[in-house]
């Protein structure tokens, strides 16, 4: 294959790869709600009267804490909460967005 035709072929292939990669990540349930369920966060945190009471409730979370404060608590928790620093940046952002939206 000549270099010129290879370049014409390569650009669309990279685009397709990116589209399928993003679609795959979304299909694997990386929404904040899905992650919160998978991580069993409701064992300690309640929302709308459902869940545990070891940690603070999430009702109005987005009004009480900034997204950065929520992120810090997830990655470097205080008061006995487990550390979730193992989350990928995308997963962490999805959880932060979900919790920040609870107003």
> What are the sequence ranges of the domains in the chain?
1-29, 31-100
Half-sphere exposure of 49 (CA within 13 A, CB side): 0
Q: Using CA atoms, how far apart are residues 99 and 103, in angstroms rounded to an integer?
A: 9
Structure confidence by residue, pLDDT tens digits, 39-84:
999 999 999 999 999 999 999 999 999 999 999 999 999 888 999 9
Residue pair 35/86 in contact (Cβ under 8 Å)? The answer is: no
pLDDT of 28 strictly over 70? no
* Per-residue pLDDT, 72: 96
- Higher pLDDT: 33 or 11? It is 33
Give the domain 31-100 fold.
Answer: Cytochrome Bc1 Complex; Chain D, domain 2 (1.10.760)
Determine the Cα–Cα distance for residues 84 and 55; give it in Å rounded to an integer.
15
Q: How far apart are CA 7 and CA 82, in angstroms?
A: 48
Which pLDDT value is given to residue 6? Answer: 42
What value does the mean pLDDT take over residues 17-44?
70
Q: State pTM to two decimals.
A: 0.70
- Please compute, for residue 94, the number of CA atoms within 13 A of its CA located in the half-sphere on the CB side: 20
């Amino acid at each position: 294959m000549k270099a010129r035709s290879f370049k014409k072929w390569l650009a669309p292939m990279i685009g397709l790869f990116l589209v399928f990669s993003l679609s795959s990540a979304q299909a694997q349930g990386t929404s904040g709600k899905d992650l919160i369920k998978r991580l069993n966060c409701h064992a300690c945190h309640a929302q709308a009267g459902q869940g545990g009471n070891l940690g603070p409730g999430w009702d109005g979370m987005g009004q009480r804490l900034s997204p950065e404060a929520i992120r810090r608590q997830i990655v470097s928790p205080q008061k006995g909460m487990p550390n979730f620093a193992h989350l990928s940046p995308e997963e962490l952002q999805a959880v932060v967005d979900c919790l920040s939206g609870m107003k």
